Structure 1
Amino acid sequence: MSNPVDDGKRLFNPSRLKLARIRRKLTLKELAEQMGLSSRIVIEYEKAYCLYEPTPETVQAYARALRYPESFFFGDDVEAIDPLTVSFRSLRTTKAADQHAAIGAGALGVMLSEYFSTRFTLPQPELPNLRGSESEIAAQAVREAWGIGKKSITNVVHLLEKHGVKVFWLSEETASIDAFSFWKDDVPYIFLNTRKSGERSRFDAAHELAHLVLHRHGDVKGQDAEREADAFASAFLMPPENVMAVKMTFPTFDKIVQLKSLWKVSAMALIVRMRNLNMLTEWQYNSLMRDATAKGYRTGEPGGIERERSLIIEKMMTALAGNGIHLTQLSEELNVPLDELSSLLYGVAAISGGNSGTSTSLSRASLRLV
C-alpha cells in the first residue's frame, strides 16, 4: 500500500471498486486470486475508510482483472441503489451474485441517465401513486391518466418513456432476472432482460410499472406483490372489455395464437387472462395450457414479435453522434467499459458506433416522443 496523498489529485474510490467487482460477479477472494494479492489487502481497498491509496501497479491489476478502465476507479461516488427498493421476481432461484450484479447495472444506469439529463430536456415522470389500489382498478387508472383508453398499446417502452420512466436493458447471462425496477430521487427506472421474447419483455415492462405505481413506498418483495404486479400487467395490456368482446364458443390453441397479436402478448398470458375473466372453463384452460406446452410456448414464443427498443435513447445517441460523440467516446467520457454501455443501451450500437472526434459542445436539446 502507498501512503495517503493530499496533493489535489483525485483519490481512489473504494465504492467504485466494489461496483466493478460485483458487475463482474467476483467475490473478494476470487478477485484477490486473479490479482495475485492477499484477500486482506483487497478487502482493505474496498473499505470506505481505507487510509491508503493503492499503488499504480495495483490499480493496473484491478483494471485488468475487472476489465474496467483505470480512470473509473477515481471518479465521484456512484449513486448507490438500496436493494430493499428493487423488485426481483424470482428471488428463490436467483443467485445473490446475479442480484448484486443487476443492482450494480442499476447504478450504472442512473449514472448514464444523469449524463443524458444534463444534455437533453426529457419527459418528466407522470406516474400516479396508486399504493393500496386493487390491480385491475390501478391498471385502468393508469390508462386513463395517460389517455390510452381501451386501445391496444403499440409499444410499451415508448409509452413508459413518454411518461418519464427511464428504461435500460440487461444482457446478463441468467434468465432468472426477468426485469427489475426502482425509484431513485423521484425518478422511476426499469431494466429489462434482453434474453426474453418480445411479448414477455412487454409483460415484464408492464409488471415493473405495477411495482412503480403500486409499491413505491412499500415492500416490493414477496409473492403478494408479485401477484399484484402480474394482475396489473395483464389488465394493463389486455383491457377486460376488449378481451371479453372476443367471441370464442370453442376455444382452440390456434385461435389463441391468432388473437394474441391484437395485444402483442404471449399465448400463455392471453390464456391466463381469459381464465381470470371467466371466459374459459377449468377444463378448457388446462387443455389450452397442455397444447401450449406441447408446442413450446411455455419456454418461448415461436414466431413472436421483435423486442421493443428505446426511442428516446435512439434520438439522444443520434444527436450525440452528430456532435462527434459515439458510443466509444461516451465510454471514454464516462470511464465506463464499452460492453456495459452496449448492454444498457440495447440496440443503439449501430447508431453510435464510430470513431470521430470527441467534441462535447452539444447544447441542451428538447426531445419529445411522437
Structure 2
Amino acid sequence: MQMPTGFFSDTPLPNLSVDDVNFRAGRRASAVHRHAAVAAGMFGVMIDRWISRHFTRPSWYEGNAAAIEELETTDPVLTAQALRLMWGLGEGPLPNMVQLCESKGIRVYGLPPVAEVVDAFSGWSDGTPYIFLSRRKTPERSRFDIAHELGHLILHTTSVDSNAEAHHRQEEDADRFAAELLAPASSVAGLLPRQPSVDRVLTFRSQFRVSAMMTAKALLRSGRIDDAGYRRLCSALARRGFRSGEPGGMAQHERSRIFTHIFGTEAAEKRTSADRLAEELSLPVTDVHALTFGTQVHAVDTPTSPVSAHPMPAPTQPLKGSRLRLVKG
C-alpha cells in the first residue's frame, strides 16, 4: 500500500500492538492480515477523532458503563436479556444493528479488503467503544458479528486472554450473548412450534433478520427441537444452500446513519467528502471508503431511517489522543 507523504510526519498514530489483539478468524489470518487489521483500527480511530471535531454524535453514556459492570459477572444469556431490557428493546426483532450501536455511542467501522479475513474485532479508545467489521459475509451474519463484538465489549471489558482455552471460552460466551440478543429464546418459543417446518424457520429468519442456521441453533437452544431434529433441519437447510449463503435473505448490508449524514448519497447532501477527510488525515482514500463502508460511493435503493437535514454542530474541543485497547475478535 502506498501511503501519502504527510502520513509519516503528521499526528502520531494510536499506540496499538498486534500482540494485544485477538482475531476471530485467527487460524485463517496471516501475519499480513493481522497487521492490516491493527492498522485499520488505528486509521479508524483517526477518522473518528476527525468526525468528533466537526460533528456532534451520540456519546457512550457513563451510566451504561456502570450498569454493564454489574452485568459482566452474569451468564452471557442473562446479560443479553438484561441489555435488551436496559435499552428498551423488548423481545422482538432488533433494528438496524449498525445504527443501534451508533445510537448508544458505539462506533462501527469497516475493514479494508486486506484485513477482511479477521471478520471483526472490538475495543475501547478514550472510553469510547469501537467495533470493526468485515462485510464479506451475508448481511445476516454481519448482524451476528456486530452482536458478537458487542458481547465482547460488555462481557470482557478488562481482559484480553491469550490462553487458548480461555480465548475459546470467551468466544463461546460472545456467541451465546449474540444469539440471545438477536433471537431471544422466549421469542423462538413463542413464535415457532416444536419441530417446525423449514418454511416456518425461514419466516422467523426473515422476521428477525438472522441466518437460517442460527435459527436452527436457537430452536435447539430453546428446546423446540432435539439433537436429532436439529441435525435433520440443518441437512434440509444445507440442501437449499444455507450452509454457505442466505438464499432469499436481506438484500443489502445495514447502513450507518452517521456516515450517510456526513457523506450523503447525493451531491447536495454532502457535508464533507472522503477525499477531504483522507487529505486532512494523510490516509489513502480507498481506506477511508472501506472504513466508512463505502457510503459515499455506493448508492442504496431500499429506504432507511430518516436523517436530520441539518448539519451537526461542531464540539468546542477536539478529542485527545489515547491508546486503543483491542478486546476481542
- C-alpha contact 2:56 2:312 (8 A) present in aligned 1: no
2:174 aligned with 1:242: no
Partner of 1:75: 10
SS in 2 for 1:188: strand
Partner of 1:24: none
Partner amino acid for 2:91?
K
2:49 aligned with 1:114: yes
2:257 aligned with 1:311: yes
Matches within 5 A, 1:92-171: 92-126=27-61, 127=64, 128-129=68-69, 130-171=71-112
Question: How far off its partner does 1:250 sit?
Answer: 3.9
Partner amino acid for 2:277?
L
SS in 2 for 1:183: strand
SS in 1 for 2:131: strand
2: CA distance, partners of 1:262 / 1:82: 41
1: CA distance, partners of 2:298 / 2:32: 32
2: CA distance, partners of 1:351 / 1:265: 24
2: CA distance, partners of 1:189 / 1:88: 15
- C-alpha contact 1:170 1:191 (8 A) present in aligned 2: yes
2:206 aligned with 1:295: no
- C-alpha contact 2:185 2:221 (8 A) present in aligned 1: no
SS in 1 for 2:203: helix
SS in 1 for 2:260: helix
2: CA distance, partners of 1:297 / 1:216: 34
Partner amino acid for 1:281?
D
SS in 2 for 1:226: helix
2: CA distance, partners of 1:321 / 1:170: 27
SS in 2 for 1:350: coil
Question: How far off its partner does 1:124 sit?
Answer: 1.2
2: CA distance, partners of 1:180 / 1:174: 11
SS in 1 for 2:25: coil
Cα distance 1:299–1:322, how it changes in 2: closer, same or farther (>3 A)?
closer
Point out the more displaced range, 198-207 or 113-122: 113-122
2:314 aligned with 1:364: yes
1: CA distance, partners of 2:236 / 2:115: 27
SS in 2 for 1:167: strand
2: CA distance, partners of 1:324 / 1:158: 19
- C-alpha contact 2:7 2:282 (8 A) present in aligned 1: yes
2: CA distance, partners of 1:165 / 1:229: 17
Partner of 1:205: 146
2: CA distance, partners of 1:148 / 1:242: 13
2: CA distance, partners of 1:246 / 1:362: 41
2: CA distance, partners of 1:303 / 1:78: 43
Per-residue CA deviation, residues 173-195 of structure 1 (Å, 9 max, x unaligned), is 56642211111121100011111
2: CA distance, partners of 1:77 / 1:223: 34
Asked which structure has the greater RCO (Cα within 8 Å, sep 6+), the reply is: 2
Per-residue CA deviation, residues 197-227 of structure 1 (Å, 9 max, x unaligned), is 1100000000000000000101355110000
Partner of 2:204: 259
1: CA distance, partners of 2:231 / 2:270: 57
Q: Quick one: percent identity of the two aligned structures? A: 33
TM-score by length of 1: 0.74
Partner of 2:306: none
- C-alpha contact 1:85 1:182 (8 A) present in aligned 2: no
- C-alpha contact 1:86 1:181 (8 A) present in aligned 2: no
Partner amino acid for 2:101?
L
Cα distance 1:80–1:267, how it changes in 2: closer, same or farther (>3 A)?
same
Partner amino acid for 1:348?
T
Point out the more displaced range, 145-154 or 158-167: 145-154
2: CA distance, partners of 1:217 / 1:322: 41
- C-alpha contact 2:53 2:314 (8 A) present in aligned 1: yes
SS in 1 for 2:223: coil
- C-alpha contact 1:171 1:194 (8 A) present in aligned 2: no
Answer with 1 or 2: which has the greater Rg: 1
- C-alpha contact 2:289 2:296 (8 A) present in aligned 1: yes
TM-score by length of 2: 0.82
Cα distance 1:228–1:321, how it changes in 2: closer, same or farther (>3 A)?
farther
Partner amino acid for 1:144?
L
Partner of 1:331: 278
2: CA distance, partners of 1:343 / 1:219: 26
Question: How far off its partner does 1:160 sit?
Answer: 0.4
Question: How far off its partner does 1:363 sit?
Answer: 5.2
Per-residue CA deviation, residues 252-298 of structure 1 (Å, 9 max, x unaligned), is 22321122112100000010011011111111100111122222211
1: CA distance, partners of 2:193 / 2:157: 39
SS in 2 for 1:136: helix
